[in-house]
Structure 1
Amino acid sequence: MRAIDLSTVTWRKSSYSNQDGGQCIEVTDDFPAVVPVRDSKAPHGPALLFGASAWASFVTAVKSGELPGA
């Protein structure tokens, strides 16, 4: 897999993140095939890359309550 430059992307915080700064993730929608995800408390740290279809399945499962603790 080739490297993806994330230095100029626009990140958005998850709507499921709480306001006190705990347990927050950020994602960017700037790539059609992958969804980069990072910890909002460590914006200069690494990002995980998920395939777009895998990420869509995860979001659907969270929204429907299929995941324990979600």
Structure 2
Amino acid sequence: MGNPRVVEVDSSGLRWIKSSASGSDPDKCVEIAFDDQVVLVRDSKDRGGPRLNFSDAGWVAFLTSVRKGS
């Protein structure tokens, strides 16, 4: 596997979507945003904090793994 690619993304203009799996508890929310280059994931309690960045293929692999319970 090659080296990970770091992509700088200005997320200020992105539309963040709360995960439906987060339920109604505002303290257990994950939000995602789609950019032209990456899918971003953040903790809604720390919106300015670290974010996970996935390529399109990486996002699909992540969701597949989560759905399988891996």
TM range (shorter): 0.7 to 0.9
Q: What stretches of structure 2 of length at least 5 have no aligned partner?
A: 1-5
Identity %: 40
Instruction: List, as ranges, runs of 4+ consecutive aligned residues in structure 1 with deviation greater than 2 Å.
Output: 60-63
More helix by share: 2
Q: How many residues align?
A: 65
Match of 1:43 among 21, 44, 47: 47
Give the CA RMSD over aligned residues: 1.8
**Cα separation, partners in 2 of 1:2 and 1:59, compared to 1, 3 Å:** closer
Superposition TM-score, scaled by structure 1 size: 0.74
Ranges in structure 1 where 5+ consecutive residues have no aligned partner: none
- TM-score normalised by L of structure 2: 0.74
